[in-house]
Amino acid sequence: MSKNLIVAIDGPAGSGKSTSAKLVARHLGYLYVDSGAMYRAVTFLAIKKNVLNNNDEIIKLAEETNIELKFIDGETRVFTNGKNITDGIRSVEVNENVSIVSKIDGVRKALVKKQKAMGNLNCGIVMEGRDITTVVFPNADVKIFLTASIERRTERRVKEYNEKGIDVGVNEIQQNISLRDKLDSTREVSPLVKAEDAIEIDTSKVTIEEQVEKILAIVKETVDKKDSKRK
């Protein structure tokens, strides 16, 4: 298969983006990038520095912090200026504030710049998020938009927390997801929308394996088209 494709995957929280993007990247031997982890990292630092109500300070954090995503043993580890903050970025407090941080234009500009730079590494890449198909890589080779019912998405998030030994209320999680959906898709800058040319996959009733197979089939189709054009 041709190498160095850019595979862009967008969708709301709990649509199965991370799990399927990771597996697709592993199958193809591509770099996997969880762009949401970068917005979470900035949110985490803003909470730590107590600057959540100061947009200029938050933008400065996004611009000046060296954010590294390392994919180790199937998980994204997040380092800011060399410090491992992986556990902190999934906290309830970060969940509650990340949509507010990610609607700040200056934050988005700084992080999109870092994300675009990853696309120039000259390797295949699978990046997932909310604006990857529309803003970060509008010319991606493959564009996927994942959706799923709110009930199914809530169920997945609750399971994720429970697997980590964290007890959470179903209602609380569903409310947080609904609120984030609303904030993410109605914000002025780079809202979560399906790109016109993205292929939509509803993951409510399919298994992870089926999702991954579908995406890999789309990637293969793209590669075959590219190869036949070259001939």
C-alpha–C-alpha distance, residues 117 and 106, integer Å: 17
For helices 35-48 and 55-64, what crossing angle results, to 10°?
130
Residue among 102 and 174 whose Cβ is closer to ligand DC? 102
Q: Closest distance between ligand DC and the C-beta of residue 2, in Å?
A: 26
Query: Which of 23, 131, 174, 219 forms a contact with ligand DC (CB under 6 A)?
Result: 131
Q: Does the footprint of ligand DC cover residue 184 (CB under 6 A)?
A: yes
CB of 41 to ligand DC, least distance (A): 10
Q: Show the binding pattern over residues 60-99: x = contacts ligand DC (CB under 6 A), - = does not.
A: --------------------------------------xx
CB 147 to ligand DC: min, Å = 14
CB-count exposure of residue 156 (10 Å: 0-12, 13-18, 19+): buried
**Residue that the structure tokens 């959906």 belong to:** 181
Alpha helices by DSSP H, listed for the chain, are 17-28, 35-48, 55-64, 92-101, 105-118, 150-163, 170-186, 208-230
Question: Shortest CA distance to 62 belongs to which of 120, 106, 116, 115?
Answer: 106
Q: Does 218 bind ligand DC (CB under 6 A)?
A: no
The smaller minimum CB distance to ligand DC, of residues 5 and 192, is found at 192
28 vs 41 by CB, closer to ligand DC: 41
Mask: binding to ligand DC, 27-66, rule CB under 6 A, as x and -? --------xx--xx--------------------------
Neighbouring-strand partners of residue 36: none
In whole angstroms, how close is the CB of 96 to ligand DC at the nearest point? 10
Q: Which is nearer to ligand DC, 109 or 223 (CB)?
A: 109
156: CB partners within 8 A, 6+ apart: 14, 16, 148
- Give yes or no for residue 129 binding ligand DC (CB under 6 A): yes
Instruction: Tell me how far, at minimum, the Cβ of 126 lies from ligand DC, in Å.
Output: 13
If phi over 0 gives left and psi between -120 and 50 gives alpha, with beta otherwise, what is residue 152? alpha
* Residue numbers at the binding site for ligand DC (CB under 6 A): 13, 35-36, 39-40, 98-99, 102, 129-132, 180, 184
